[in-house]
Each structure stands twice: as C-alpha cells, then as structure tokens.
Amino acid sequence: MSPQVGGVQRQWALKSVEETDWVVPFKVFTQRDLEKIEQIARLPAAMRFEMRVVSSVLPFRVNKYVIDELIDWSNIPADPIFQLTFPQRGMLAPEHFERMAALMRSGADKAEIERVAHQIRHELNPHPADQMEMNMPRDADGRRLEGMQHKYRETVLFFPSQGQTCHSYCTFCFRWAQFVGDKELRIAASEASELHDYLRHHTEVTDLLFTGGDPMVMKTKHLQAYLEPLLHPDFDHIQTIRIGTKALTFWPYRFHAAADSDELIRLLERMVKGGKHVAIMAHYNHWKELDTEAARSAIRRIRATGAVIRAQGPLIRHINDDPAVWAKMWQMQVKLGIVPYYMFVERDTGARNYFEVPLERAWQIYREAMQRVSGLARTARGPSMSASPGKVEVQGVTEIAGEKVFALRFIQGRNPDWVQRPFYAKYDPEATWLDDLRPAFGEEQFFFEDEYADLREQKLALAAATDD
C-alpha cells in the first residue's frame, strides 16, 4: 500500500503493520538539517530564514514519519501538524527575533549566536509554576533529588535521563528547556535506586509518572530497570504507573516495528499482570495524529497488554483552537478505546504569546466541543491551568449579584483541602493564566493565597538552608 499525504508518497510500505518482521528506519532532522528537508527547501527563502532564526533559540526536531505521513504540504503554513512541529516567526517576541536575525545576517559566529540565544531563553520563563523551587523533593539528608518532582501528595514525577528527548519536538512544549543544551535548565535523573528509595519511604504515593522528554525514546531494557522492581511488595502502595508520551503521534512504530518493540509490549503485560494499573498518558493535539494505520496499530497493540491509554493536551492557537477539532478528536479517541482525560491551557512559558488563548475563549471551545459528543467523551476535564498552587479548572463565565465572574475550582492542589473548592475571579476578557486573574466581590485575595505563600516561603527557606 502506498497512501498519499499532502501529495507526498509514504516512504515505508508496511506489510502487516502489527506483525512486520523488520525494523522501520528512523530518520530525524534538527536545526542544522532544516535545508535538507525536501519539502522545506521548496518554501520561500524568507520563510526558511525565519525558521533558522527561531530554531536557534527554541528546540527543533522532526522525523520522516511526521513529514511524510502527518503534514499536508499543500496547506502550508496553516496545516496544524506543521504548526505543531516547525518553527514560525511569531514564536519569538519581535525584539528577540530581530536581535537574533541581525546576528545571523551579520555572519556572527556560532559561539556568539549561542550566547545570545542563552540570554533570550532565560527571559522565556523556562521553568514555570515554581518547578525548580517547590516541586523537587529531598532525601533524608536534605539533598535535592534532581530528577524527581513531588508536587501533589499522591503523585511523583520521574525524569529518567535516558528519556530526556523526543522523537519530534512540539513547538509549544512547556518543557522546551529540557532540549536546548543549557544544563542548568535540565531536569533528569540517572539512578533508578534514588527513585526506588524515595518511593519506599513515601507510602502516601500511589501514582508514579514517568515523564521527560519522552520515556518511550528509551530502550526497553532501561525502562525495565525502572519498572520491574516496582512489582516487589515494598511498592504495593504504588497502584498506578503512568508513562507520559508523544510516541503514539510522533513515532508509533516504537510499539510494533522497533528492534525491541516485542520486549516493550511484554514488559507492559508483566506490569499489568503484576497488579499495577499501567496508564499510557498520550499527548494528542489534533485528530490527524490518530488517522494513520501505524498510529492505530500501535494503539491496538498497547491496549492488548491491559494498559489504558488516556489522552491529554493543551488548547493551542494555530493548531486546535476550534471546538470541531476537539469534538472530532475526542470521538475518534473513544472509538479507538482511548479515554479523553484533560484539555490544558497553554502554559506561561516559551512561545506562549504565539499559542495562548484567552481563558474565556478556551472555556467556550471546551463547552461547545462537549456539546457535540456523547457521555463517554465527556471524561475530559478542562480547560485546566497547571499553575504553581495546583490544577485550576475554568468552569465558566457567569453573573453573580450583578458581577460578571469566572467560576473556578481546583482539580488538584498543593494542599488536598483546596480540591473541588469553588472560587471566583473578576471577569477579564484578556486573561490567559491564573496570574492574570483577580478575586471577585471585593475580596483582596483568593482563599488559598496566604497558605500558598507560607508553603512557598518554607520551601525556599529549606532550599537556602540545605543547598548552601
């Protein structure tokens, strides 16, 4: 079979995709290879220059599967997957773009370009929501555990060092700082023993989330070293193992045509049979990501292990700011056996000005999309902001006692007592994030702010005392 996508013939003629006896070649392009991509070479020179400028600051990586099977090259630059993966001029603020463009036009050397890029990156809020200051746990000696985050009581995030890249990079990624080469911006851990020791002593934790980057770029033997020890009785309190991944979009062959695909599938089966709930936290942004045979075959193979696939992703201008896109995506997910889980608000980091949507519009898109789907697709919560105090859901815009307000609630919070407590903010049609909102009804602050400030002060004081 030789399907066409945007007039480009697929490079890989799969046999039975689920039972292929050979490995599909993986070819990736980074910033230095932009001009080597045949489809990019045909674009106007001005557009190619803009791509080089933006990709000198923000990470860029894309592979042949995305290029040949997901992007419609007859619809450039509007194609959503093109916007999802290729740099656009508006992703940098005008002053940042012009500063970097001037350097490149003048023929500045690589070291100077990287020095300026480093300065710009630090102005883009590389670690939003107090990730470095408040989320990283400490061992019994007060030493910060660099590759973990423990923000909510029940859930620990782990960043395995072997999984701190992706098969392709999302242009909107809120963890873009993981990929730009600045070591001080990177979160990663190499020792499985640190993770296991921490979990052994924190029996309040029920959920472990492997994240990155993308843990599915790891070889199965590395993932196995982290996962299989969790079947020991010492870890009976760990009920759910979540694996955050974009591989089902960017490289679905990972699950049925890589050299160790079968080992990966058997590992997932062992974890399920061992009593763990395995949740593949798939990041989807558009229904086109679900619409290839390679992607659907990967979904079927994962589900056959007993693992559950849950779908989440942000609402992003230029890509999916349309209720019809979300409704179709959720409907396709349910049909394929995937559980819609979250619609997020684009985080306040990186290229946020290019991608962000006002909160009122985000809620309208969510509401209209929900109206178009059945109850099985209405499991998706949102629009949700993953802010420093917790996950805050915009439940709507309403009028109370003559005042127009946002109705909000915590889906998750640093203090579990905040969860499901409604609160209200003054209506602001321009607001795009929690920090833009102010309390309604003449209140001076939101109900959680004093306690959150105390928690933050305690964390910062502990960090200062132990890191010195």
Other beta carbons within 10 Å of 221 = 12
Q: What is the pLDDT along the chain (468 residues), one digit of tens a residue?
A: 333 333 333 333 333 334 444 467 789 999 989 989 999 999 999 999 999 999 999 989 999 999 999 999 999 999 999 999 999 999 999 999 999 999 999 999 999 999 998 888 888 776 655 655 678 888 777 788 888 999 999 999 999 888 888 999 999 886 656 655 555 544 555 578 889 999 999 999 999 999 988 999 999 999 999 999 999 999 999 999 999 999 999 999 999 998 899 999 999 999 999 999 999 999 999 999 999 999 999 999 999 999 999 999 999 999 999 999 999 999 999 999 999 999 999 877 777 889 999 999 999 999 999 999 999 999 999 999 999 999 999 999 999 999 999 999 999 999 999 999 999 999 999 999 999 999 999 999 999 999 999 998 888 777 666 665
Nearest to 76, CA basis, from 105, 107, 48, 112: 48
Using alpha carbons, list the distances in angstroms from residue 449 to 133, 193, 316, 423: 17, 36, 28, 12
CA–CA separation, 253 and 298 (whole Å):
7
Give residue 10's identity as a one-letter amino acid code: R
Closest to 31 (Cα-Cα) out of 100, 106, 127, 128: 100
Reported CATH class of domain 131-467 = alpha beta
Calpha distance 326→290 (Å, rounded): 12
If 0-12 CB within 10 Å is exposed, 13-18 middle and 19+ buried, where does residue 299 land? buried
At 424, which helix (H) or strand (E)? strand 422-426
Looking at residue 189, what is its pLDDT?
A: 57
Tokens coding 240? 């759910």
Inter-residue contact 275 to 318 (CB < 8 Å): no
> Which letter does DSSP use for residue 227 in this model?
H
User: Which helix or strand (DSSP H or E) is residue 332 part of?
Assistant: helix 323-335
Cβ contacts of 421 within 8 Å, gap of 6 or more:
409, 410, 447
Angle between helices 192-200 and 220-227 (to 10 degrees): 20
The residue among 56, 55, 57 whose CA lies nearest residue 85 is 55
Smallest CA-to-CA distance from 32 within 114, 125, 119, 102 is with 114
Residue 130 to residue 19: CA distance in whole angstroms:
45
Task: Give every CB contact of residue 146 below 8 A, 6+ residues apart in sequence.
Answer: 136, 187, 188, 189
The residues with which 283 forms a beta bridge, in sequence order, are 312
d(CA 399, CA 53): 46
The mean pLDDT of the chain is 89
Q: Left if phi > 0, otherwise alpha if psi is -120 to 50, otherwise beta: which for 140?
A: alpha
Domain positions in the chain: 4-121, 131-467
The answer for residues whose C-beta is within 8 angstroms of residue 251's C-beta and 6 or more apart is: 26, 63, 65, 167, 168, 216
Are the beta carbons of 382 and 393 closer than 8 angstroms?
yes
360, amino acid identity:
E
- Which residues contact residue 118 at a Cβ distance below 8 angstroms, ignoring those fewer than 6 apart? 182
Q: Which helix (H) or strand (E) holds 413?
A: strand 403-413
pTM score of the predicted model: 0.89
DSSP letter for 421, please.
-
For the stretch 351-391, pLDDT in tens is: 788 999 999 999 999 999 999 999 999 999 999 999 999 99
Using alpha carbons, select from 431, 423, 433, 405 the residue that is nearest to residue 344.
433
Q: How much is the pLDDT for 179?
A: 59
End-to-end CA distance of the chain: 62
